[in-house]
Structure 1
Amino acid sequence: MRADVRWKLCWENELQLSDHVELTDFFRKTYGPTGAFNAKPFEGSQSWAGARPELRAIAYDSSGVAAHMGLLRRFIKVDGVDLLVAELGLYGVRPDLEGLGIAHSIHVMLPTLQEFQVPFAFGTVRPEMRKHVERFGRHGLVTVMSGITVRSTLPHARTDLPPTRVEDPLVIVLPVGRPISDWPAARLIDRNGPEL
């Protein structure tokens, strides 16, 4: 990690309007190159795309926001079994800092995850991120799973779309309070809410 990058944990209600505006700009610039649709939710001062995080790990350097990861505690259903997780998402790294990486974000969050006493942290990424997350997963901190259907609600009810979205992303699980062997075998995960 670069010496001039500093991480800050922020509860959502601690953020000022100026923080949201800065994060919105960061997400538009970070997600925009992956497709205009990916940057679309970040308009005005909205610094979240689906579910709103309750806690954020934000890295700053002399140029502003360098990286971000959000956290939201929730119950998901894993093949019908209720499971408390800390969902990790809303992840991004400024393009000029590639290599700062998801590993640094999770290491910053780990003490807080342990304080929350959740059994697992959970997240999803699109299949195009496979090489990136598998490279991170080989260090044994997380388990990367594929072939699992994930159902989420849309962030806003719309008359022209069904209320839920069904995807086949890569599922990332980080054991926090229980071993990975306690994670239920899954074919379907219901978020029962929008993706973080």
Structure 2
Amino acid sequence: MTDDIRWEVVEESSLSLPDHEAIAALLAQAFPDWSHWYVGGRSWSGMQPERRVLARDQDGVVLAHVGIRRMFITVGGRDVLVGDTGLVAVSPRLQGSGKGRELMERTHAVLDGLAVPYGFLGAGENRIPFYAKLGWHEFPEVVGTFSAFTAEGAGITNTEQGGWMVRPVAAALEDWPAGAIWLNGQEV
């Protein structure tokens, strides 16, 4: 089954309703605690991605997904352009098969193609080692603030320490500014 996987990079505006439904189905499986977000054609939970990396089987079932959006965030009082990366998911039946690594390698190629200074993502504590092995750097003491929208649309300010990760793309990690992160909006 894994030999029949078709990888693609798609722009958000080229996705059809069935595409969004297929992505939402994967995200509901991958994030069962948040499955109430991913119903029907709702294939995002915060900021809608600009580009997506998808893996599909021969029937069009989405087996792996990541969303990326270019945006400015404020770090230590300085605006920084990033490729905000999120909604990283691999079908539970393929976890441990190397498809997550392949998904992130393809994600890195998209970030490189966008020529953003940095890739940026917020990761749960149990996912940090996976991303770190792939070149992402965590800032464990850094506090990040963002708008966390509920499934009903109400926005609330959320602040979290740790789990903020950066991957150098067109800039050096040493040039990442020190200080708190302010997203002034949602995460992908």
Structure 2: tracts of 5 or more residues without a match: none
Distance 1:102 1:87, change over 3 A: farther
Give the structure 1 partner of residue 18 of structure 2: 18
Secondary structure at 1:137's aligned position in 2?
helix
Normalising by structure 1, report the TM-score. 0.85
Output aligned runs, 1:146-157, within 5 Å: 146-155=140-149
Output aligned runs, 1:156-195, within 5 Å: 158=154, 163-186=156-179, 188-195=180-187
Of 32, 47, 50, the residue aligned with 2:46 is 50
Query: What is the deviation of 1:4?
Result: 2.7
Secondary structure at 1:46's aligned position in 2?
coil
Contact 2:6 2:58 in 1 (8 A): no
**How many Å separate the matches in 1 of 2:14 and 2:113?**
19
Give the structure 2 partner of residue 76 of structure 1: 73
Query: Does 2:132 match 1:134?
Result: no
Secondary structure at 1:154's aligned position in 2?
strand
**How many Å separate the matches in 2 of 1:30 and 1:107?**
19
**How many Å separate the matches in 2 of 1:62 and 1:149?**
43
Secondary structure at 1:44's aligned position in 2?
coil
Aligned Cα RMSD in Å? Answer: 1.9
Normalising by structure 2, report the TM-score. 0.88
Distance 1:136 1:154, change over 3 A: closer
Runs of 4+ in structure 1 off by over 2 angstroms are 2-6, 99-103, 109-112, 154-158
